[in-house]
Structure 1
Amino acid sequence: MSTPMWKRVIARILEALLAIVFLAPLVWVIICSFSPQAGSAQSDGWGINNYLTLFNYQAGLPTYLFNSIVVSLIAVVFSVVVCTLAGYSFSRFEYPGRNLGFMVTLSILMVPYASLLIPMMVWFKDIGLNDTLLGVGLVITLFQLPMSTFIMRNAFNAVPKDMEEAAMVDGCNSFQALVKILMPVVKPSMVTVGLLAFLEAWNNFMIPLYLSSSAKSTLPLAMVNMRQQTMGVIDYGATEAGVVILLIPCAILFLVLQKYYVKGFMAGAVKG
């Protein structure tokens, strides 16, 4: 039975209204980053002076972008590798403490990560990871583990064990079956885990604030340091330019990977 025309029209109108609600702030920020504003470098006429201010701030925009990219890549690589192996272990192997280990992993979600940053800062100083991009990336990975492991476990649960058993009959061990047979099947979930890790690392402010100095600042932290100018006046123009730069990689990645993102979240939705 087909849906009545009036219901389809109402649904499309509601979708358009929701799109406007979500897109309007983004469009407004982009326009304001080029428009004249008092107290900003672009005080007269339209132009790119706000972006030039951001580009030349202290160490320079390329340095902060490089730091953000390195931290994001570390978080993505470690999150995908660790959570894929953890999800495979929790899904496929029977061993004492498996369920307890899974519950302990999920329990990290219950801990406010701000409460752990000062102890981690002290510990990282002892082991030489304080004020390093590697340390920031590893801490971000830690807080990505619960949800990402949950996603990967459900993804592996949704794959029939017959595929893995057939590969083992042909001579594969568990690791070879994972790499050659299962990973291509759960690729959408792996992409989802990587995308979530990138978005968290790219936009994270709190962890770099505690664990890195100004020389190792990521772009969100540099933006906060830059936005307050002479006499406490906030440079909204440069701040909006920074928001646009932060937005571009996230929007591109999401548009390119959205089909995997949707499939990744749907994997294991029925069989979990």
Structure 2
Amino acid sequence: MSKKVFGNVFSYAILIIIGVIMCYPLIWMFFASFKTNSEIFAGVRLLPQSFSFEAFRYGWRGVGGNTYSKFFTNSFLLVAPTTILTVITSALVAYGFARFEFRGKKILFTILLGTLMLPNAILIIPRYTIFRDLNVIDSYYPFYLMAAFACYPFFTYMLVQFIRGLPRDLDEAAYIDGCGSFGILVRILLPLLKPALFSAGLFQFLWTYNDYFNSLIYISSIKKYTVSLALRMTMDSEATTAWNSIMAMSCLVVLPVVILFFFCQKYFVEGIATTGLKG
């Protein structure tokens, strides 16, 4: 066996081992959802003695008279508009920074970069005060408003770097053909921005879908809870925690993220690989 073949086999073996180690908690969670509570703590055996869907049926009943179908619907109502608004506004702001010259541009962009370094804990109280004064607490509007005003600077910065890598000759050619600034963005740049937009959308979807802390701060009614809050509430709703039901619902909660990643991984990898490259 040549050194090259041996090196490839060794590399793939290491990657497979690391992959199994990283995926093992998810694999264990999946099989634990078919076990009884006592069987989960009885030993380290992976496979259950018998497969039962009782944990899924029991867990789906949810808490506070709200089933997990309600919580999944709430998550969709929160995540979908937030993701769409984030992609749109981040693209508009990034286009302005990347293609236009205006007074104070460097200062504003420096402030944008500075906000990337601020811990989220610093922003919680000012944001909560603003949204309380706007009377939008206990709703999804705080998330919508932050997305509508491009309050996620990471995505703006990522798209700025991507747009800067696109040649200005494309803009000039479109301008000669009669396109205005908005037409150049919609007809020329957005199709080329597709990988970066998919990456931004996927990141925002994952972050918003998995967000527990901000949802806990802004949402107080159980009927408006997302799946992340519902899982935590399920643990607190009974004296004895039904861990098999928690594992079953956790599997269902993770499923949309896994499906989305596998369907969009091409755009995700392409967007990350090309963002920041300059032509």
Answer whether TM exceeds 0.5 for this pair. yes
> In 1, Cα distance between the equivalents of 2:134 and 2:97?
30
Structure 1 segment 210-229 matched on structure 2, within 5 A: 210-213=217-220, 214-229=222-237
Q: Is contact 2:89–2:147 with CA below 8 Å preserved after alignment?
A: no
Greater shift in the superposed pair: 202-211 or 135-144? 135-144
TM-score (norm 2): 0.88
Q: Is contact 2:199–2:268 with CA below 8 Å preserved after alignment?
A: yes
Residue of 37, 52, 60 corresponding to 1:47: 52
Q: Is contact 1:164–1:177 with CA below 8 Å preserved after alignment?
A: yes
Residue of 208, 215, 231 corresponding to 1:201: 208
> In 1, Cα distance between the equivalents of 2:179 and 2:147?
34
Quote how far apart the aligned CAs of 1:24 are.
1.3
Summarize the Cα distance change of 1:142–1:247 in structure 2 as closer, same or farther, 3 Å threshold: farther
Summarize the Cα distance change of 1:3–1:161 in structure 2 as closer, same or farther, 3 Å threshold: farther
TM-score (norm 1): 0.90
Is 1:21 equivalent to 2:31 in the alignment?
no
Cα deviation per residue 1:146-202 (whole Å; 9 max; x = unaligned)?
A: 211111011101111111110110000011011001110110000000000100111
Q: Is contact 1:36–1:45 with CA below 8 Å preserved after alignment?
A: no
Cα deviation per residue 1:59-78 (whole Å; 9 max; x = unaligned)?
A: 11111111111111122111
Summarize the Cα distance change of 1:22–1:141 in structure 2 as closer, same or farther, 3 Å threshold: farther
Counterpart of 1:192?
199
**Gap regions ≥5 residues in structure 2:** 41-47
Greater shift in the superposed pair: 124-133 or 169-178? 124-133
> In 1, Cα distance between the equivalents of 2:110 and 2:101?
15
Counterpart of 2:253?
246
**Gap regions ≥5 residues in structure 1:** none
SS state of the match for residue 208, structure 2? helix
Corresponding pairs, count:
268
Letter in 2 for 1:11: S
Quote how far apart the aligned CAs of 1:110 are.
2.1
> In 1, Cα distance between the equivalents of 2:49 and 2:151?
44
Quote how far apart the aligned CAs of 1:44 are.
9.3
> In 1, Cα distance between the equivalents of 2:12 and 2:49?
41
Cα deviation per residue 1:27-60 (whole Å; 9 max; x = unaligned)?
A: 11111112222399xx995322222233212211
Summarize the Cα distance change of 1:138–1:22 in structure 2 as closer, same or farther, 3 Å threshold: farther
Counterpart of 2:126?
119
Structure 1 segment 91-170 matched on structure 2, within 5 A: 91-139=98-146, 145-170=152-177
Summarize the Cα distance change of 1:211–1:85 in structure 2 as closer, same or farther, 3 Å threshold: same
CA-based RMSD of the aligned residues comes to 2.4
Counterpart of 1:77?
84
> In 2, Cα distance between the equivalents of 1:179 and 1:91?
15
> In 2, Cα distance between the equivalents of 1:259 and 1:111?
31
Query: Which of structure 1's runs of 4+ aligned residues deviate more than 6 A?
Result: 140-144
Summarize the Cα distance change of 1:143–1:165 in structure 2 as closer, same or farther, 3 Å threshold: closer
